[in-house]
Amino acid sequence: MKLFIKSVFTIAIASLVSCGGPAEKKESTNKGALAGSAAEKVYVKPGEHDSHYAFISGGFSGQLSVYGLPSGRLFRVIPVFSQDPEKGYGYSEETKPMLNTSHGLIPWGDSHHPDISQTNGSVDGRWVFINENNTPRIARISLETFETEEIIEIPNSAGNHSSSYVTENSEYVVAGTRFAVPFPQRDMPISEMKGNFKGALTFLSVDPEKGDMDIAFQIKMPGFNYDKAHPGRNASSDWFFFTTYNTEEANTLMEVNASQNDKDFIAAVNWKKVEEYVANGGGKKEPARYAHNKWNEEKHMAISEMKDEVLVVDPRDVPGAFYFLPTAKSPHGCDVDPTGEYIVGSGKLAAAMTIHSYSKMIKAIENKDFDGDAYGIPIINFEAVNYGVLNQPGLGPLHTEFDSRGNAYTTFFISSEVVKWNVKDLTVLDRHPVYYSVGHLMIPGGNSRTPDDKYLVAMNKITKDRYLPTGPEVCQSAQLFDISGDKMELLLDFPTIGEPHYAAGIAAEKIKAKSKKIFRLEDNEHPYAVKNEAETKVVRKGNEVHIYMSMIRSHFSPDNIEGVKVGDKVYFHVTNLEQDYDVPHGIAMIGAQTSELLIMPGRTTTFTWEPKQVGVWPFYCTDFCSALHQEMQGYVRVSAKGSNTPLKYTLDDEVPGEDDF
Ligand code: K7E
Ligand code: CUA
């Protein structure tokens, strides 16, 4: 075993060195003619639009970035799990509750797998779901506003990695635990892990109209590590598949101890059967503390609610719903082809990829062709479920996506390449190097029934010499391929934000037309909203000062405020009165311990300021909004604690404000 690991890593190092050399570079610059045609394929004329959106995970940035394909242009970084000063997310009073958890406000997250909602097995462009790995959470992002609308914490889970994947009609989003942990959490010796830790597979229901999520049930699986997941398609659509590793249930020196078994499993879960079982009163409510944070569209604010129980299902209570499929050691990727027949497990340490057959699985279950069980869950005989093995396609297989022509595309981390192979024949058709050490890849719709298969995006962990150096850390990157022909053609490199794990892509038509342009002022029910300048005011409540402020090109109302004192807590509740597309205003106050706020037309947002020093302190608009943007500014006069400066506020000197004492 040790020898094997050693040889894999020697090759890994060798391959890094060999593909990092300048020789490779020369070769690519020699292909002048090809480079010309590749340039045309990614060229989107100024003023024209890309054909596809790509939503690329921000990895340890915690965010989700939005790119255009084929240009590779970055349009937006959507803040999800991390505070974002650019947009005021996680700093404004309205968005802070979105980051609430049972551990308090968590300002950061590690996002891995975005997945677009589906209807009849095709991506429908309504929402993107994405997981947070570190403090287990699932987020839902609206593709009308491109804003995070909901975040739900996943209890009894740790390293929320086999997440977030949706079923064919977005009935459920799935969140599987990577770490086995005590379930429920408790104080116990780590050495007693085996048999005592559990692995939670959580199914979140999704409201078909509004998208609202809820934890429908949690399955208390044996304490393995559940690494990746994929729903079935077509005939297999009632099933969900999860790769597992560390079936050894080791808790120390994992790189060796979790690689002992020659085979680990893909867990097959019939979620329809579990759903039925739960609908008939099955499962047990168990205490669990987790936050459920939802954006309220009318009130323009997130509301966080703490929940205290989940419905837990013991797999042994639902016979016929759970099976283990033996799969080459320590598999990572778990992918199902568009027909739903082939289930691909990528054993990152194995020399072969395991391809299971759904129809064989069903037959084996009927014939009870089992090879024992693990904690009461039948293990299907390997031969009875295995469709075949793809031998030596490359080194370190991680993830697979599919086209609509029966081909699979698999990334190989160690040999730094994408390999195209035919799923039915198990023959390798093409291979292309990537630069370097690729993780996931994405074909728009490539994990659905209906791949939209012109482009493939490979997401690389290491870029070495591919970009201008920027100190010890160089950017991570995506590479765009044209896969419409027999051979893959590399078209473009573009840098990504954070570590690109997975991505989700979709035709622009499915999103473009319904993208929101403004928030209608008349629908704004924020308790501190103002609908026009006449409603602006300043109100004192003890040591709190509430400023009901408006902004419109190119002034704030009020713009001069007096009577604030050291020791006060000042709330700026600011409404952008604009009702025009693409006219946000910003606001920032000297000394405020928060970010600026960027406020969209028709929206109300709040930040707080606790002045520490007497003086006259300015605030200003942070977003260049008109020719008179520089004039969009104002002052707050701060007097000493206990002084009797009256509270007043003005827009111009002729309209003195009232004293609200
Ligand atoms: Cu392979 Cu988190 Cu999907 Cu990264 S994971 S590569
Ligand atoms: Cu408003 Cu600049």
CA–centroid distance, 548 to ligand 2, in Å, is 18
What are the pLDDT digits (tens) for 273-297? 999 999 999 999 999 999 999 999 9
pLDDT on residue 27: 40
Reported as a pLDDT band with limits 50, 70 and 90, residue 391 is confident
- pLDDT of 35 reads 55
Question: Is the beta carbon of 112 within 6 A of some atom in ligand 1?
Answer: yes
Phi/psi at 9 (nearest 5 deg)?
-75, -30
pLDDT of residue 624: 96
Looking at residue 392, what is its pLDDT?
82
CB 270 within 8 A of CB 231: no
Q: Region 463-470: what's the mean pLDDT?
A: 94
- Reported as a single tens digit per residue, the pLDDT across 320-363 is 999 999 999 999 999 999 999 999 999 887 778 999 999 999 99
Q: Which atom of ligand 2 is nearest to the CA of 624?
A: 2
Could you tell me if the CB of 178 is within 6 A of ligand 1?
no
Q: Across residues 480-493, what is the average pLDDT?
A: 97
Once rounded to an integer, what is the mean pLDDT over residues 28-46? 73
Choice between 419 and 653, residue whose per-residue pLDDT is larger: 419
Q: Which ligand gives the minimal distance to the CA of 165? A: 1
Lowest mean pLDDT among 345-354, 446-455, 458-467: 345-354
CB-defined site of ligand 2, < 6 Å: 554, 585, 621, 623-625, 629, 632
What atom in ligand 1 is closest to the CA of residue 439? 6
CA of 636 relative to ligand 2 center, distance in Å:
18
Which one of 440, 447, 457, 462 would you pick to mutate in the ligand 1 pocket, going by the greatest count of ligand atoms within 8 A of its CB? 440
Do 164 and 129 form a contact (C-beta atoms < 8 A)? yes
On the question of pLDDT at 5 being above 80, the answer is no
pTM of the model: 0.93
pLDDT in tens, 162-200: 999 999 999 999 999 999 999 999 999 999 999 999 999
The pLDDT score that the predictor gives to residue 623 is: 97
The overall average pLDDT reported for the chain is: 93
Average pLDDT over residues 468-475: 93
Inform me whether the pLDDT recorded for 4 exceeds 60.
Answer: no
Distance 528 CA to ligand 2 centre (A): 21
Q: What is the torsional sign of CA 370, 372, 376, 380?
A: negative
Ligand closest to 437 (CA) is 1
CA distances from 77 to 80, 260, 352 (A): 9, 42, 38
Per DSSP (E only), the strands in 22-136 are: 52-57, 64-69, 74-78, 100-101, 104-105, 115-119, 122-132
pLDDT exceeds 50 at position 30: no
